[in-house]
Each structure stands twice: as C-alpha cells, then as structure tokens.
Structure 1
Amino acid sequence: MTTIDLSDFEGFWAKPLDYRHAAFDELRARPGLPFFEEPEFGSLPRGRGYYAVTKMDDILFASRNPGTFISGKGNATPVDMPEEFLGQSMISMDDPRHARLRRIVSRGFTNKKIKSLHGNVAQVAKEIVDEVIDRGEVDAVEDIAAKLPLRIICDMMGVPEASRQFVFDQTNKMMGVQDPEYVPEGEDAFEALFKAVQELTNLLNGLAAERAEHPTDDMISQLMTAEVNGEALTPDELAEFFILLTGAGTETTRNAITWGIHLLTKHPEQREAWLADLDGVTPTAVEEIVRWTTPVIAQRRTIAEDAEPVELSGQLLVPGDKVMMYYWAANRDPKYFTDPAGFDVRRDPNPQIGYGGPGPHFCLGAHLARLEIGVMFRELLTRIPDLHSTAEPARLTSPMINGIKRLPVAFTPGGAR
C-alpha cells in the first residue's frame, strides 16, 4: 500500500472498507506523520498540503492544546475556505469567540434538557417503527435512521413539518459534496456546498423573522433572546448554528444507526447478546457502534501563527502546518483497543473519540446522539428483532463522513405492537 493517497476522493475513499482499514493500519505504523498534497475542491486553490494524524495519543494531544492546534483556519477540509465562508460557524472558531457562542447555545444541551427529551425521542422512535412495521422491506436510511434525528432537531428548532424534507435534502448535499450522486461531474463542489448552506440560511432567516413576530418555546425563539453575560447571538451566528445543528445533529446519528443495523446483521451473536440484557448492554453497544462507525472520519487543525513549533510522533510542526486528525484511525488504535477490527457490543473499556477529542470542540450534542441511538435500537430490537440488511450499504464517497446513502433491510411484517 505504498501508494496510499488520502486526497484521492474517487479512488481511496470509494474503496472497500477492509482496504481503508488496512491502509490506516499501515499509516499508523509508519514513523512520523505521513504527508499528502491537498485535494482539488472545486475552484478553490490548492494549498501547502497536510499531515495525517492517525494515532490516538497524537489526536488527544492536539485536541487538548487548542491554542496551538487551531480551528479558525478551517475545520472540515485541508483546503482553505474563503474567510467569508468560514463566517460565524462555531466549528471553525477559536476562543474567545468559540467559548462565547458555546456558552450561549449549550443551554439547549444540558443534561437536564436532554433527559427532558427522552419521552419525545421514545415517542418518535415508536412512530417510526409503527410506520414501517407492516411493510417487511424498507430502506433503513430514509425510512428509519434519518427520520429520528431529523424530527428531533427540527422539533427542537421549530422547523415546520413541511420544510423537513427540504432540510434533509440540503443536508445531504452539504455533507456529500465529494460524492458524484450529489455533485455530478462538471459541477463545482465548492459552489454546490455554498448553495446548500445558503438555502438553509434562507430557511432559518425566514423562521427567525416569524419568531420575532410570534415567539414560541422552540430553540430559535430562545436563542434569539438568549444572553450570557450580556452577550447574545447575532443573526449570522444563529444561522450558522442552525446549519451546524442540522448537519452534525442529523447526519452523524443517522449513519451510526444505519451502520448499527448492518453490523448486527453481520454479527448475529452480538444482536443476541444485546437482546439478552437490553438495559445492561445498551450503553456499551451505543459506544461500540459509534467507535466502529466513527461517523465523522476526520477534522482539521492548523498550527497557530504565534505558536511555538510542536512535535507529534517525531514530526516537527511549524506555524501554518495543517493536520487532519483521523478519528477513524484512532478508534482502531491497538494501543487502546483489544481486537480493534472486531465488533463487541459489551466492549468495556471503550475510550472511543467518535464525538471528537477532548477539548472545546467536543461534540455539543453527544448526549443527545447517545440517547437517540439507544432509544432507536431498543425499539427496533424489541419490536422487529429479525430486522436485517439484505445487501451491502450504498456508501457515501467522502473523506469526512462515513455515510450510507441507502441500505435495504427486511423483517417479518407485523412484529410486536
């Protein structure tokens, strides 16, 4: 595998998962940090290239040192985005601006708030199974996995039901800009991404205008008036948070659920172990699905211009150097995981970083994602226990999201009411 090229979107990232696992195992075993030229991304210029960080220890170190490994130069791709595109998004911010926004929006994701959502999540999961239980064959993505996080996030934000398919479609385009199905050959990937972001921004602006006239108890209304230490969100910041929430809050959870269904099909003994002790196994099973899946494959950091040179795995990094932190690889680091390629719903301990590394950018919605995944599988396992995939997943071609576009599944119609 001496020709591994992580910048080859349609080559490397379209290969079978076993190949990808083996490639990252090799990269992790190499001395230093492998270096790659930047990929082409639409009309944007290519920069100086990036280092691939694949070891758990290195990613933990970078995550815990946000003053050196900054996000403000870009978070999702090694290609430098225009300053105006980075805009107000929390995910591409550093402190103190990041801390300010997180203080304001985190009030919607406290432990108390997430616990209060349990009943609604359980009811939505029940309704989703009610809708498919007599059909016997469905698509796991569109008919099951995507519906739960989409409905919960839209309910929280106050997005009307008539707009939810639109949110789903724009999120697909936003997260799938490297996939030919979403951005056909000849189209500019950056322009497609910008358009999807703008469409969601327009939706939020319209909803915000309505809430200004007629406030409700949804998160849009709350965030429009929320203040922490006298600070509030600007309209642009509110729009960017909405986009981040609809993307990160729906895409990652739906992929974890879909991959989980496929994994239980491939490992029926794990399904039986989970069913035999639903309450005891659900917490560890959710963590293992997230570890094995790692829905967010990677994030970028850049060495700050005012930082001292820093060393990772023997590689000296200087200001301006870019690193891609491959959570996918770290979640299979043999130093941290016994049988890292295996799938074990009772794995314990499980120090996975599928929600990001420790530090200011740890996923704000991690508790909500855990709740949604656990509740959805409890509903599936108890009501349609023979649910199984009938073909291999149609995978998203992406270096950022370990996505599934379609997964046909079958089960005995009727199930448990």
Structure 2
Amino acid sequence: MTIPLADIDLSDMAFWERPMAEREAAFAVLRAQPGPVRFPEPDIGFAPAGPGYYALVRHADIVGASRNPEVFCSGQSSTSIHDLPAEFNEYFGSMINMDDPRHARLRRIVSRAFTPKMIKQFEDDVQAEATRIVDGLVAKGPGCDFVTEVAARLPLKIICDMMGIPEEHYQTVFDASNVILSGGDPEFIEDISRAAELLLGAGQRLQDLVVSLADAADAGDDTLIAALTRANIDGEKLTMQELGSFFILLVVAGNETTRNAISHGLHLFTENPDQRELLLADFDGRAAGAVEEIVRLASPVAWMRRTVTRDHEMNGTHYREGDKVLLYYWAANRDEDVFADPYRFDILRTDGPHVGFGGPGPHFCLGAHLARREITVMFRELFTRLPQLRSVGEPDRLRSSFINGIKRMRCDF
C-alpha cells in the first residue's frame, strides 16, 4: 500500500481514525522522505495554534534528539503540541515538562521507588493481584471486555498502592486518567468546546485527592505520597501545586500506558499464535523478549514533543531556535533501517533497541521496570491458567494521536 505524501496530515484527527495498516503505510512514506516533514498545528480551541512542528519518525532522529536534551528541551511542554495556557501548569506542569537540573532533582525523589530492587519488593503484591484478576475473569466467563476486567485492573491497583491511595478512590483515578489522556476522543470529551474545562476538572479532582492524602499522611508512612510530602528540593518543600502535578503524572502514566500494553499484548498473541506457542514452550526464558516486543509494537505513548533551544543540525537537517519537533516513537519502532521485517511480531527479536519507553536520556520512562514486571506477571498468570485466551474481533481503539490506546476488546477462552 502506497499513500501519497499530500494525503498525510498528522494534525488531522481523521488520520488517526484510519485503519492501522494505512497509518503504518503513511509513516513508512514519511520515513522515506529526505528529512522530517513539517505539519501545521491542529485547532484545539483553547490554545492558539503555533508555527507548526517537524515529525521525527526515524529511529536515529529520535535517539539523537533524546540524547541531546540541552538542544531538544522538554521545558516548553513535552505532552502537548501547543503551548498551553498558564492554568494548565497547575495540574500538568510536572517533571515530564521540565529540564535539568530541576527535572533531575525531582526525578531523584521518586526514582528509588522504581528501581529493580524496589520493584522486586512489590513482586508478591503484583502476583497476588494478577491471581485475583484471573479468578475474576474465570468467574465472569468468556465474552467479557478484557480491558475492563483484566488490563486496566493490575496497573491501577499497583500504582495506587504505591502512592497510598485507598481503594475507594480507584474509580476517581481511573476516570480522571481517561479524560486527561483521551486525546479528544468524543467518548470522554463529548463537546470539544468544553475540552479545557473537562481536562482542568480532571486535574482538579486528582489534585484535591493528593492534597487530602498528603494532609492525612503520617510521618512514618512509606508511600510515595508521604515521600513527596517530605521531599526537600534546594532547601524548599514541594508546593501543593508541584505535589499535585507530580501525583497526576505518576498515577496517569502508571495506569494508562501499562493497561494499553497488556491489551495490545493479548491482541498480538491472538493474531500470532505461533508466538504464543513459543512463549508457552519456555515462558521464563522468553518472557523478557516478549515484553519488549509487545512494547515495541504497542508503543503506548505515540509521541512526545521537544522544542529546539538554538540553531542546530542533526542527521543532515537544520533546525532553528524555537522549532517544535514531535518524536514519534510508534513510527521509530517500525523503522526498516533498524528492525528486520518491522511489522512482524517476533518475541525472539534481537535487532535494535526499541523506543517504546522513550528514547535514551533523562526522560526515559521512570516506570519501565514496573511496567515490564506487571506485563510479565499478568501474562504468566493468564497463559498458565487460560492458555487459549484470545481477543475477539477488532479492538475499539482510542481516537488519539498521543496514546495508542484500546478502550474495549472482547475476549474468549
């Protein structure tokens, strides 16, 4: 399938409603161009459109930009194409939208909770929750929604436990996360003219929650909420605004992305039964490769933005100070120059590091170790007890350019 370059507009939401094969073909066309293609910024109503952005779709460009944060900075927003109004910073001005040295200082506060050693301490909790989830799936029976009954439950429970969020607030976290990462999907934002109101409202609900939990935290608590409340940066405590935006980043990122990786994983194994057989023949030996391949093809976060801080040349392209670039991880993970037969799901793949957790550099996904553990444990439990579990039909995909999400997907076993 060949798509004319003139028919590709990454800022048009109609592009993100096209069948997956058409999107893959379009990104192959973009990768074949002599340099990154520039697109106009979409009209979102509540923020003025800027000068446009370059779409970085090659693996080498994304790795190069990620390794050079002094030039390709995050501080002017990494999660929005637009420069958002100031009121959004109250909820979404977290460390993902910061540069070093402040980014590094904030990241150090929570990084200890996400090291492999610390994640190992959560292993029993992850396993116990995965067992409960599959118990519930068996009781529910075939034909139910895999996303709701399985994929969404594990990461939501684990990140809430780590943060110290009581179970009665899980639904608030889940619903607010869906709105914040909706990408404008009409299921979550029915009236686009109210998008800013709904996004800010979701942020407010999560900030109210963290403030109430911080007020109730005991000095001896070992939850992330307590650690953030006690944290000291350059002699100063985090403000409630900083605490709130930090909290929103962790609960939203820790919930939504792993949910989608697990959902994509089942669909990939359903469409590639030979890979399921390979995994089941040696789960412990092949699970790590399977998880990396799921994340490569799922690329739950499709892109992040960077802003060029000075005139710069990279891989033959000249960028000017102030240029915006979008790092399309999803496209880079299908780069023919890095991955042999890149559209094939191959759990034994050894060619090239994917960028499904972001490119190398200071903004590499803080929760990568936790996500890998959750995906591994979930599929071990599912395929040990329900080896014939499969998705049914096409997934109901999120209408978003930012999150490669699956809203619903029926399963059978």
Report the TM-score range of the alignment, normalised by the length of the smaller protein: over 0.9
Q: For residue 95 of structure 2, what is the amino acid of its counterpart? A: M
- The answer to whether residue 40 in structure 2 is matched with residue 37 in structure 1 is yes
1:402 partnered with 2:384: no
Match of 1:122 among 123, 127, 139: 127
Counterpart for residue 213 of structure 2: 207
Mean Cα deviation higher: 193-202 or 67-76? 193-202
Return the alpha-carbon distance in structure 1 between the equivalents of residues 209 and 202 of structure 2. Answer: 11
Deviations 1:32-91 (A, max 9, x none): 110100001132111110000011111111001101101111111211112342354011
Q: How does 1:331-346 map to 2 (within 5 A)?
A: 331-346=333-348
Per-residue CA shift, 1:238-267, capped at 9, x if unaligned? 211110011111111000000100111111
The answer to whether residue 270 in structure 2 is matched with residue 262 in structure 1 is: no
Q: Give the corresponding residue for 2:154.
A: 148
Of 309-318 and 265-274, more deviation after overlay is shown by: 309-318
Which residue in the other structure is 2:65 paired with? 62
> Which residues in structure 2 correspond to 1:341-356 (within 5 Å)?
341-356=343-358
Is 1:5 equivalent to 2:9 in the alignment? yes
- 1:14 corresponds in structure 2 to 17
State the partner residue of 1:79.
Answer: 82
* Alignment length (residue pairs): 406
Q: Which residues of 2 match residues 355-366 of structure 1 at below 5 A?
A: 355-366=357-368
* Post-superposition offset of 1:312: 3.3
Deviation for aligned residue 1:221: 1.4
Identity score, percent: 52
1:246-395 → structure 2 map (5 Å cutoff): 246-304=251-309, 307=310, 309-395=311-397
Q: Is the 8 A contact 1:6 1:36 kept in 2?
A: yes
Aligned AA (2:374)? E
C-alpha RMSD of matched pairs (Å): 1.5
* Contact 2:57/2:331 (<8 A) preserved: yes
CA apart distance, 1:18: 0.5
Deviation by residue 1:199-255 (Cα, 9 ceiling, x = unmatched) = 11111111111115x753322112212347755433222211110011111111000
Match of 1:157 in 2: 163
What's the CA shift string for 1:335-378, capped at 9, x where partnerless? 11011010011112341110000111000000000000011000
User: CA contact under 8 A between 1:101 and 1:233: conserved in structure 2?
Assistant: no
Distance 1:215 1:209, change over 3 A: farther
Distance 1:388 1:173, change over 3 A: same
- Per-residue deviation, 1:313: 4.2
Q: Distance in 2 between matches of 1:336 and 1:327?
A: 13
Gap regions ≥5 residues in structure 1: 412-417
Q: Select between 85-94 and 219-228 the one with higher mean Cα deviation.
A: 219-228
CA pair 177-340 structure 1, distance change in 2 beyond 3 A: closer
> Which one of 97, 105, 127 corresponds to residue 100 of structure 1?
105
Distance 2:231 2:306 in 1: 30
Give yes or no for contact 2:184–2:192 (8 Å, CA) kept in 1.
no
1:110 Cα shift?
2.0
Amino acid at match of 2:32: A
Matched residue type, 2:301? V
Letter in 2 for 1:264: F
**2:94 alignment counterpart:** 89
Matched, 1:53 2:59: no
**Aligned counterpart, 1:414:** none
SS for the counterpart of 1:249 is helix
Letter in 2 for 1:157: M
Q: Which amino acid aligns with 2:405?
A: G
> Which 10-residue stretch deviates more, 234-243 or 215-224?
215-224
SS in 2 for 1:407: strand
Unaligned runs of 5+ in 2: none
- Identify if the C-alpha distance between structure 1 residues 239 and 270 changes in structure 2 by more than 3 Å, giving closer, same or farther: same
Matches within 5 A, 1:230-245: 230=235, 232-245=237-250
Deviations 1:253-299 (A, max 9, x none): 00000010011111111111100000011000000000010000000
Separation in 2 of the partners of 1:291 and 1:329? 10
Q: Distance in 2 between the 1:41 and 1:122 partners?
A: 42
Contact 1:177/1:189 (<8 A) preserved? no
2:31 equivalent to 1:28: yes
Note if contact 2:11-2:41 (Cα within 8 Å) is conserved in structure 1.
yes
2:183 and 2:402 in contact (8 A); partners too: no
State the 1:136 CA deviation: 2.3
Residue of structure 1 equivalent to 2:188: 182
Q: TM-score, normalised by structure 1?
A: 0.94
Equivalent-residue separation in structure 1 for 2:183 and 2:69 (angstroms): 28
| TM-score normalised per structure 2 | 0.95
8 Å CA contact 1:208, 1:220 repeated in 2: yes
Whichever residue aligns with residue 12 of structure 1, its letter is F
